[in-house]
Structure 1
Amino acid sequence: MNDWIQLLFSKFKSVSGVLIIILVIVEWSILFFTRKIESNKEGFVNILSYVLQTIPYVFFGKVLILGTMMWVYEYRLFTLGYNWYIWVLAYFVYDFMFYVLHYIGHKVRFFWCIHGVHHTAEEMKLTVAVRGSFLIFLHMPHTVLWLPIFGFDPFMIFIIELIAALYGLYEHASEKLVGRHVWLEHILITPSLHRVHHAKNHKYLDTNYGETFSIWDRMFGTLQKELDSDKPIYGLMGDSIDSKSIWQIQVVLWTELWRDINNASKWTDKVKYIFMYPGWNHIDGGKKATEYRLEALLKDAVNKKQNVTN
């Protein structure tokens, strides 16, 4: 059975890779010829980022990721097999792990320097799905790395990861081509919900972490629907990074972290800059993204109440 699932993974990987390329080309062509695309250069930077983040996987992927997963599988707590319900369970477990790692990517400065690259895009389109840091191998592989301990075949996890990645690609579709699927938002992270996740509007900050299912965001209070009154504005708060510069999107977050570490005199503060939330500082503690969000929601509620009163 293990040989069969390895063959299935190999075939599916090839098909999914071709499908991703086709979908990206089709969307890009439609946006270009209908003149709905804002920046071709940003799209090229997205693809170049994908090339950069792929290089470490080419050299270390089989040795570190697959090797670790196969080793963990040897010490699995259960032997779950390959029944259809095990595939469903594995998908839900994988998606929960994605939620956790994604959440950490927004809450820990070190991992934000990696994940934040993905959020530097200022226009939503399919190529944004592959816009990532060259150091992403230090972060997101943990989504799958330890799942075999529960008895999931590593190649089963790889297949599920590919399926999830295809859906994740769709989530980045341009709002000029894909609107809202309100009824699906009860179950899935739709393109609209994921556009909210990419927005720097204060009401939208640090929400919608799921990759496929919205149930985790509902359970942990991080779900935010797109509001008619607030069109998502993409990019990072502060506008300190040129989204069309491959150098800036890959390096500036790290240089800013290094500057903050150097400015701190205490070693404890230097360490805190690495592990505390983005925006933390050693002078007054800084401000969390959730605080900006709560302030914006409160201000909106007050304005609505005043409008009703008037």
Structure 2
Amino acid sequence: MNETIQIWLDKFQSISGIVIITLVVIEWVILFITRKIESHKEGVVNIVSYILESIPYIFLGKIVILGIMMWGYEYRLFTLGYEWYIWVLAYLVYDFMFYVLHFIGHKVRFFWCIHGVHHTAEEMKLTVAVRGSFLIFLHMPHTILWLPLLGFDPFMIFIIELIANLYGLYEHVSEKLIGRQPWLEWILITPSLHRVHHAKNHKYLDTNYGETFSIWDKIFGTLQVELEDEKPVYGLMGDSINSESLWQIQILLWKELWADMKTAKKLSDKLKYLIMYPGWNHIDGGKKASDYRSEAWIRDELIKRTQKEAQT
């Protein structure tokens, strides 16, 4: 059974890899021909980052990840079968798990040091989809790792993950090629919604965590559409990382975390730097992304009110 799953998984991964590379190259060529690409070097860093993050999976995928999932399926709580509606349910559960893990990646600093690599890109294009940390294997596999315990066949989960990843690739397409698709935003995470997620504009911080469906963001109040008067600006707040430096995007967030931990005298505070939100400090608690977001909306409302009063 394990060997059969692995054979089919290898086939699907090969096909998926070919499709991803083909789409990335096509977009890159289009952006180059139309002179709409800003940084070829950043694109190269994206690809090299993908190679780095893939290396652990080569060694862990067949032994650890598949092994844990097969163990979970052996001791599953339910036997769900393979009907079409089970596939739909599996996709929904997978996407919800992605939302949860993605949310954690923004709210817990240890995981932000991993996920934040993806947000260092300052230009949106398909290669950004594969810009990840070499330590991503500590974070995102949990999206699928425990689903077999619920009764979903590991083979089913792997197929769903590949499909979702292809959709996730599409979400990173350049805004110079695809604009807003408001008619889809009520149920799907569109490229526009994901551009908002990548933006460092204070109004857009920490929103749109879903991979395929926007329903989770609606349910938990994290949905934010792209505003007509607020163009997304990509990258990290503070501009301390050179998006074209492979070393900086992979390491600098960890160096900053270590530097902050050294400033704390109490062991409890040192540990809090690992588990608290990015921006937390042991002196005054720091500032959450949600605080920046609220302040930006309040400031914008005050400006509009002042302008309206001046006109009257």
Shorter-chain TM-score bucket reads over 0.9
Query: Mean alpha-carbon deviation: is it higher for 57-66 or for 150-159?
Result: 57-66
Aligned mates of 1:5, 1:86 — CA distance in 2 = 19
What amino acid is aligned across from residue 126 of structure 2 in structure 1?
A: L
Letter in 2 for 1:161: E
What pairs with 1:213-232 in structure 2 (closer than 5 Å)? 213-232=213-232
**C-alpha distance in 2 between matches for 1:10 and 1:248:** 33
Instruction: Give the match for residue 296 of structure 2.
Output: 296
Q: How does 1:1-310 map to 2 (within 5 A)?
A: 9-309=9-309, 310=311
Relative distance call for 1:87 and 1:6 in structure 2 (3 A) is farther
After TM superposition, the score normalised by the length of structure 2 is: 0.97
* Structure-2 separation of matches of 1:7 and 1:82: 19
The size of the alignment, in residue pairs, is: 310
1:18 deviation in Å? 0.8
| Aligned residues: CA RMSD | 1.4
Normalising by structure 1, we get a TM-score of: 0.97
Q: For 1:101 and 1:167, locate their aligned partners in 2 and report how far apart those are by CA, in whole Å.
A: 17
Letter in 1 for 2:80: L
Map Cα deviations across residues 14-67 of structure 1 (whole Å, 9 max, x no partner): 222111110000000000111100000000000000000001111111111110
The answer on whether the counterparts of 1:5 and 1:156 sit within 8 Å (CA) in structure 2 is no
Q: 1:240 to 1:83 in 2, by over 3 A?
A: same
- Does the Cα contact within 8 Å between 2:20 and 2:166 map onto a contact in 1? yes
Cα distance in 1 for partners of 2:131, 2:59 equals: 20
Instruction: Tell me how far apart the structure 2 counterparts of residues 132 and 66 of structure 1 sit (CA, whole Å).
Output: 21
Give the SS at the match of 1:222.
Answer: coil
> CA offset at residue 74 of structure 1?
0.6
What code does the residue aligned with 2:202 have?
H
Measure the CA separation in 2 of the matches of 1:195 and 1:277.
22
Counterpart of 1:244 in structure 2: which amino acid?
E
Instruction: Work out the CA distance in 2 between the residues paired with 1:286 and 1:163.
Output: 39
Q: Is this contact kept in 2: 1:122–1:235, CA < 8 A?
A: yes
Give the deviation of 1:301 after TM superposition: 1.6
Matched residue of 1:132: which SS?
A: coil
SS of aligned partner of 1:226: coil
**What displacement does 1:307 show?**
2.5
User: C-alpha separation between the residues in 2 aligned to 1:46 and 1:7?
Assistant: 28
- Once structures 1 and 2 are overlaid, which stretch shifts more, 73-82 or 2-11? 2-11
Does the CA contact (< 8 Å) of 2:6 and 2:62 recur in 1? no
Tell me the percent identity. Answer: 75
Unaligned runs of 5+ in 1: none
State the Cα distance separating 1:298 from its structure 2 match. 1.0
Alpha-carbon distance, 1:245 to partner: 0.3
1:84-105 Cα deviation digits (max 9, x unpaired): 0000000000000000000000
Aligned residue type for 1:204 = Y
Amino acid at match of 1:38: E
Residue identity in the other structure for 1:262 = K
- For residue 217 of structure 2, give the secondary structure of its aligned residue in structure 1: helix
Distance in 1 separating the partners of 2:218 and 2:63:
37
Deviation at 1:9, TM superposition (A): 3.9
Unaligned 5+ runs, structure 2? none
Q: Does the 8 Å contact 1:94/1:143 carry over to 2?
A: yes
Q: Counterpart of 2:71 in 1: which secondary structure?
A: helix
Q: Following the alignment from structure 1 to structure 2, what is the Cα–Cα distance between the partners of residues 67 and 7?
A: 15
Amino acid at match of 2:152: F
Shift, 1:308, TM fit: 2.7
